[in-house]
A and B are shown apart, each in its own frame.
Chain A
Amino acid sequence: MDNLALLMEGFTNALTLQNLLFALIGVLLGTAVGVLPGIGPAMTVALLLPLTYALDVTGSLIMFAGIYYGGMYGGSTTSILLNTPGESSSVVTALEGNKMAKAGRGAQALATAAIGSFVAGTIATGALVFVAPFIVSIAISLGAPSYFAMMVFAFIAVSTVLGSSRIRGLAALFIGLTIGLVGMDPTTGQPRLTFGQPLLSGGIDVVVIAVALFAVGEALWIAAHLRQGKQATIPVGVPWMGKDDWKRSWKPWLRGTVIGFPFGAIPAGGAEIPTFLSYVTEKKLSKHPEEFGHGAIEGVAGPEAANNASAAGTLVPLLTLGLPTTATAAVMIAAFNQYGIHPGPLLFKTEPVLVWTLIASLFIGNTLLLALNLPLAPFWAKLLRIPRPYLYAGILFFATLGAYAAGMQSFNIVILLLIGALGYMARRYGFPVLPIIVGAILGPEMERQLRRSLQISSGDPAALVSEPLAIVLYAVIAVFLVVPPLLKAVRRRTRDASRRG
């Protein structure tokens, strides 16, 4: 009941006229930028970050909530109307959604995506209200060894479980950790990797890293392989659904929510797995399995709900443990740090008003999104036709602005270009980008926890396994690392055996 009282207080804070205006601007901008082709939610949040610099903490977090959900909704609009999405979590939506649009049912596809996102987002944010304080109550009793283990776990999860290549994932992680190393060592004040450059002694601003990897790297990569000629976009009217569509959508929405939230909430999240699971589930349960692959509405409703629910789920480890597990969450932690806010269990104790206002504004943003996007959909669809030279020139324009504004230093733009080149390389060779940013953000924090663990035990490394959670996590990591190669070996062996036999 305590939670609800705090949440109500959050609503009172968020529901002022000024804050509602911030939420509205956030939702509009987030959707507008998110709809643009080639721009995923992470890039949307990174590019719009400078806009929140001048606001106070509460105002900017509220705007952020709007940008976050708006960016995601924008992405699904793009994948339905344009196909071949850039964001891996929208791949499944495009599968059926684009087929529906081609068959003249774009309005229904957009409607089930929008309403499904609203339903899932609302339920999942509700779950967040109850789950987060529970996790905080456990997390508050955990010591440095457990935190260190959790960070190692998050590192291994984002670099070896999600990507397609483990070597490339780990390499990306170590590159990120190296970037995080730059600057003054917080404990002793010794400069590391600063090469005598005073501008580097404060470390590289996380905003610059995020904008470089997601905006500059992406823009350069697209520039190298820019598709010639116009892509066919499908014009749509105002989204609506018939009685039959409602009947076929509401169960997938709920199932998608149930599948999505837990996957987002464990610190090995990401929306790829839950959206795919939801798709497969709907295909199995559907009364119209023959429609799958030709535009089945269940195949849009379920995965879209799963996507949104998992996005709300990722806020659980982000807010309670300070662990970002998706690209968007990583950029959000950068935004928090701008204000000197460090997400973690203490945040709920030290800044309860702030946390609960943020959660309340998630509900508000989600509702505004539904109210705005149904009537505005035809307008968003027009944004898809923006000429590509202007689009990508605009991305570079705003990326450089964001990097410059992060410290009012033109030096930041040089760093932006260097890390952007790294982002280009990652895309060219299929290296995942997520481990780079997570490594850069969590690296310094991991070092702090490691030092603290050893400080307490005066150097005895056995301290690292002195807490039960740490032991469990290391065991899970061992399973992660050992089982897949083992399975591969076994499979190869049986295949060889069957060939011989």
Chain B
Amino acid sequence: MTTPSSRGGPGLLHGRSELGVAALLGALAVIVAVDTANIRQTAVNSGVMGPQVVPAIIATGLALCAIALAISVLRGGHADPEEGEDIDLSIPAHWPTVFGLAGLILGYALVLDPLGYVVASSILFYGSALLLGSRRFVWALLIGVALSVATFYGFVLGLGIPLPAGLLTGIL
């Protein structure tokens, strides 16, 4: 975790990854503006205030925030990252874990319907636990499966909310 150095350092961009946030705000402003410009003006929305006004204000606000944030960051401004019980900010961000978890969630969205809730959720739990450092390979799997099966039946029988059975249709 680098905090912006006030001396500027070798490059202007060094330690100023927050400029990426400013760029994201700017990109959002453009997306909202383009989308707003494409709203069709029809007889229905020719009332006093059409559906474009508020998005236009928001796009402007986003753009102003992007500029103000960029200026603030370039001047060395920054806010403190969030702390917590299990957070150790002295170690740098461990990207493989973060991207691994993100990948798991994305994969989960794709396989949830075909594989069914129990299989997909077991994989999600097991994969996450291993990525987060669990080395009890059998235990973690058992907990994942038990949790998934219990949740499935809890929702289907207890709450009356149907979750997809997928591969295990007919077995569960």
Contacts and interface: CB of A to CB of B under 8 A. Distances in A.
Contact of B47 (A177, A450, A455): A455
A387 B161 contact: no
Interface string B76-87: 011111111111
Contacts of B50: 188
24 contacts: A51-B159, A53-B161, A83-B85, A167-B69, A168-B79, A171-B21, A175-B28, A185-B51, A192-B51, A193-B31, A218-B84, A225-B91, A226-B87, A388-B133, A389-B140, A392-B128, A393-B144, A400-B124, A413-B112, A414-B109, A417-B106, A420-B102, A420-B105, A430-B82
Contacts of B160: 54
B58 A388 contact: no
A427 B82 contact: yes
A425 B21 contact: yes
Contact of A188 (B51, B72, B98): B51
Q: A interface, by DSSP: helix, strand, loop or mixed?
A: helix
B44 A188 contact: yes
A223 B88 contact: no
Interface of B: 18, 21, 24-25, 28, 31-32, 35-36, 39-40, 42, 44-45, 47-51, 54-55, 58, 61-62, 65-66, 68-69, 72, 77-89, 91, 93-95, 97-98, 101-102, 104-106, 108-110, 112-113, 121, 124-126, 128-134, 140, 143-144, 147-148, 151, 155, 158-161, 163
B124 A86 contact: no
Interface of A: 37-38, 50-51, 53-54, 78, 82-86, 163-165, 167-168, 170-171, 173-175, 177-178, 181, 185, 187-190, 192-193, 195, 216, 218-228, 231, 387-390, 392-394, 396-397, 400-401, 404-405, 410-411, 413-414, 416-417, 420-421, 424-425, 427-431, 443, 446-447, 450-451, 454-455, 458-459
Of B58, B131, B143, B155, the most chain A CB neighbours within 10 A belong to B58
Contact of B45 (A83, A187, A227): A187
A83 B89 CA distance: 16
B77 to A, nearest CB: 8
Contacts of A397: 121, 124-125, 128, 144, 147-148, 151
A389 B133 contact: yes
Contacts of A171: 21, 25, 62, 65-66, 69
Contacts of B69: 167-168, 171
Given A220-B98, A226-B133, A400 B108 contact: yes
A393 B128 contact: yes
Given A389-B128, A393-B128, A430-B82, 17 more contacts: A38-B85, A82-B85, A86-B82, A86-B83, A86-B84, A171-B21, A171-B69, A175-B25, A178-B32, A181-B32, A187-B47, A187-B51, A188-B45, A188-B47, A222-B86, A226-B97, A414-B109
Contacts, number: 240
A224 B95 contact: yes
A415 to B, nearest CB: 9
A401 B129 contact: no
Contacts of B18: 429
B49 A459 contact: yes
A295 B36 CA distance: 57
A401 B49 CA distance: 39
Given A224-B93, A427-B82, A458 B48 contact: yes
A427 B89 CA distance: 12
Given A231-B85, A394-B125, A430-B80, A190 B45 contact: yes
Nearest to A229: B88
B89 to A, nearest CB: 6
A216 B62 CA distance: 24
A396 B79 contact: no
The 8 lowest CB-CB distance pairs between A and B, nearest first, are A430-B79, A54-B159, A393-B128, A389-B134, A413-B109, A86-B84, A389-B132, A188-B45
